[in-house]
Structure 1
Amino acid sequence: MGNKLIINEQFIEIRCDRGDAATLELVNKIPYVHRNRVNTVFRTTVRNIDLVLKLFRNIDESNIDKAPPAVQRIYDKEMQRRSVTKALLEHGPTGDPGFLWPHQQLGRELAEVNNRFAFFYDTRTGKTPMSLQIIVDDIKRNPHHKWLVLCPLILIENAWLEDARNIFPELRVVNLHDTSKAKRLAKFKEDANLYITNIESFVQYREHIEKLGIHGCFVDESSAMKSSSSKFAKAAVEFAWNVKRWYLLSGTPAPNGEWEYYRQLQSIDFYGVHKSWTQFKQYFFENVSRNPQYEKLKVREDRREELLSLIKSYSLYVDKEDVLETPGRDFIEVELTMPNELKEHYNKLKKQLYLELGDNIVITAPSTAASLNKLNQVTSGFIIDTEAMKYNKIHGIPQQEVHLLSEYRFEALDKLLQGLGDEQAIIWCMYKKEFEILKKRLGDKCALVYGDTNINEKNAAIRAFKEEKVRYLIANPASADKGLTLTNAHIAIYFSLGYSYELFKQSIERIYGSVVKQPKRCKYYIFIAKGTIDRVIYNTIRSKGDMSMDVLNHLKGGL
Structure 2
Amino acid sequence: MKFKPYNYQRAAIQWVLGHPRCGLLLDMGLGKSVITLTAIQQLMDDCEVSKTLVVAPKKVAETTWTTEAEKWNHLQSLKVAKVMGTEKQRNLALASKADIYVIGRDSFVWLVGKYGGQLPFDVLVIDELTSFKSSKSERFKAMRIASPSVKRVIGLTGTPAPNGLIDLWAQMYCIDQGERLGKSVSRYRETYFETHKWNNIVVRCDVRKGCEQIIRNKIADICLSMQARDYLQLPKMITHTVKVQLTDKTAKAYAKFERDKVLEFKAEHGEEPTNVMANSAAGLMNKLSQFANGAIYDDDRQVHEIHSEKLDRLAEIVEAANGSSILVFYQFKHDIARIKAKLKGLKVVTYEGEEDLKQWNAGNIDVLLAHPASTAFGLNMQEGGHYIVWYGTGWNLELYQQANARLHRQGQKHPVTVYQLLCAGTVDERASAALEGKTGVQQSLLDSLNYLLRKYEQTTKD
Q: CA deviation at 1:310?
A: 1.1
- Structure 2 counterpart of 1:477, one-letter code: L
Conserved 8 A contact 2:51-2:121: yes
Per-residue Cα deviation, 1:481-530 (whole angstroms, up to 9, x for no partner): 5779xxxxxx972354649699999xxxxxxxxxxxxxxxxxxxx96234
Alignment of 1:300-379 (within 5 A): 300-301=208-209, 303-329=211-237
SS at match of 2:59: helix
Match of residue 141 from structure 1: 46
Aligned equivalents of 1:317, 1:451: Cα separation in 2: 40
SS at match of 1:313: coil
Cα displacement string for residues 43-80 of structure 1 (whole angstroms, at most 9, x for unaligned residues): xxxxxxxxxxxxxxxxxxxxxxxxxxxxxxxxxxxxxx
Shift of residue 109 of structure 1? Answer: 0.6
Runs (4 or more) in structure 1 with deviation over 4 Å come to 209-212, 252-256, 438-441, 473-476, 479-484, 497-505, 534-549
1:394-409 matched pairs, under 5 angstroms? none
Aligned partners of 1:326 and 1:166: how far apart in 2? Answer: 20
Asked if structure 2 preserves the Cα contact closer than 8 Å seen for 1:225 and 1:233, the reply is yes
Measure how far apart 1:193 and its partner are.
1.2
Match of 1:208 in 2: 114
CA root-mean-square deviation: 4.6
Query: Deviation string for 1:390-446 (max 9, x for gaps)?
Result: xxxxxxxxxxxxxxxxxxxxxxxxxxx99xx9xx99x999xx9984237999xxxxx
Match of 1:478 in 2: 315
Give the SS at the match of 1:322: helix
Query: Is 2:347–2:365's contact at 8 Å kept on the other side of the alignment?
Result: no
Give 2:190's match in structure 1, choosing from 282, 286, 289.
282
The residue matched to 1:174 in structure 2 has which SS?
A: strand
8 Å CA contact 1:256–1:548 kept in 2: the answer is no
TM-aligned CA distance change 1:274 to 1:288, over 3 Å: same
Distance 2:312 2:56 in 1: 19
1:152 aligns with 2:57: yes
- Secondary structure at 2:154's aligned position in 1? strand
In the aligned structure 2, how far is the partner of 1:296 from the partner of 1:547?
21
Q: Which runs of 5+ in 2 are unaligned?
A: 239-277, 322-326, 368-382, 387-412, 414-462
Q: Is the 8 A contact 2:82 2:102 kept in 1?
A: yes
Assess if the C-alpha contact under 8 Å between 1:284 and 1:303 holds in 2: yes
Structure 1 segment 48-63 matched on structure 2, within 5 A? none
**More divergent stretch after superposition (139-148 vs 197-206):** 139-148
Inter-partner Cα distance in structure 2 for 1:228 and 1:255: 19
Matching residue's letter, 2:172: L
**Aligned positions of 1:372-451 closer than 5 A:** 435-437=294-296
Decide whether the 8 Å contact of 1:218 with 1:249 is kept in 2.
yes
Maintained 8 Å contact 2:130/2:320: no
For 1:493, the equivalent position in structure 2 comes to 329
CA 1:304–1:483: 2 relative to 1, 3 Å: closer
- 1:201-260, Cα deviation, whole Å (9 max, x unpaired): 101222335666211111111111121211112221221111111111112556843110
Distance change (3 Å), C-alpha of 1:190 and 1:437: same
- In structure 2, relative to structure 1, the CA distance for the partners of 1:116 and 1:452 (3 Å cut) is farther
Q: Secondary structure at the match of 1:296?
A: strand
Instruction: State the match for 1:226 in structure 2.
Output: 133
**Matched residues in 1 for 2:360 and 2:384: separation?**
15
**Counterparts of 1:284 and 1:208, CA distance in 2:** 37
Given the alignment, which residue of 258, 273, 278 partners 2:181? Answer: 273
Structure 1 residues 102 and 501, CA gap change in structure 2 (3 angstroms): farther
Q: What letter matches 2:114 in structure 1?
A: H
After TM superposition, the score normalised by the length of structure 1 is: 0.47
Q: Does 1:184 align with 2:95?
A: no
Cα distance in structure 2, aligned partners of 1:243 and 1:190: 20
Partner SS, residue 295 of structure 1: strand
3-state SS of 1:266 partner: helix
8 Å Cα contact 1:188/1:208 also seen in 2: no
SS of residue in 1 equivalent to 2:147: helix
Cα 1:190–1:280 change in 2 (3 A) is same
Query: Are the structure 2 counterparts of residues 531 and 113 from structure 1 closer, same or farther at C-alpha, using a change threshold of 3 Å?
Result: closer
Show the counterpart of 2:105.
199
User: 1:327: how far off?
Assistant: 3.3
Instruction: Give the superposition deviation at 1:291.
Output: 5.0
CA contact (8 A) 1:428 1:475 kept: no
Contact 2:57–2:316 (CA<8 Å) still a contact in 1?
no
Instruction: Tell me the equivalent position of 1:246.
Output: 153
Q: Counterpart of 1:118?
A: 23
Cα distance in 2 for residues equivalent to 1:323 and 1:133:
19
Query: Cα deviations across residues 100-120 of structure 1 (Å, max 9, x unaligned)?
Result: 222111111111221111101
SS at match of 2:33: helix
User: What is the rounded CA distance, in whole Å, between the counterparts of 1:158 and 1:483 in structure 2?
Assistant: 16
Equivalences, count: 308
Query: How much does 1:121 deviate?
Result: 0.6
Query: Distance in 2 between the 1:440 and 1:171 partners?
Result: 52
Deviations 1:255-297 (A, max 9, x none): 8431100011112222333121112111222213465333321
The answer to whether the Cα contact below 8 Å between 1:286 and 1:298 also exists between their aligned partners in 2 is yes
Say if 1:304 and 1:440 are closer, same or farther in 2 by CA, change over 3 A. Answer: same
Distance 1:143 1:311 in 2: 25
Judging changes above 3 Å, is the alpha-carbon distance between structure 1 residues 208 and 174 closer, same or farther for their aligned structure 2 residues?
farther
Map of 2:351 onto structure 1: 528
Q: Secondary structure at the match of 2:202?
A: coil
Change (3 A) 1:438 1:208: same
Distance in 1 (alpha carbons) for counterparts of 2:174 and 2:311: 36
In structure 2, what is the Cα distance between the partners aligned to 1:292 and 1:482? 28
CA contact (8 A) 2:84 2:103 kept: yes
Structure 1 Cα separation of the partners of residues 35 and 5 of structure 2 = 7
Instruction: Summarize the Cα distance change of 1:504–1:131 in structure 2 as closer, same or farther, 3 Å threshold.
Output: farther
C-alpha displacement of 1:313: 3.0
Work out the CA distance in 2 between the residues paired with 1:213 and 1:474.
34
2 CA distance for matches of 1:289 and 1:547?
27
- 258 and 428 in structure 1: CA distance in 2 versus 1, 3 angstrom threshold: farther
Letter in 1 for 2:329: I
- What's the CA shift for 1:306? 2.1
Aligned counterparts of 1:172 and 1:137: Cα–Cα separation in 2: 15
Task: Look up the SS of the partner of 2:201 in the other structure.
Answer: coil
Q: Secondary structure at the match of 2:296?
A: helix
Task: Report the identity percentage.
Answer: 21
| Structure 1 contact 115–246 (Cα < 8 Å) conserved | yes
Whether contact under 8 Å (1:125, 1:320) holds in the other structure is: yes
Gaps of 5+ in 1: 1-96, 331-416, 442-449, 459-472, 485-490, 506-525, 554-559
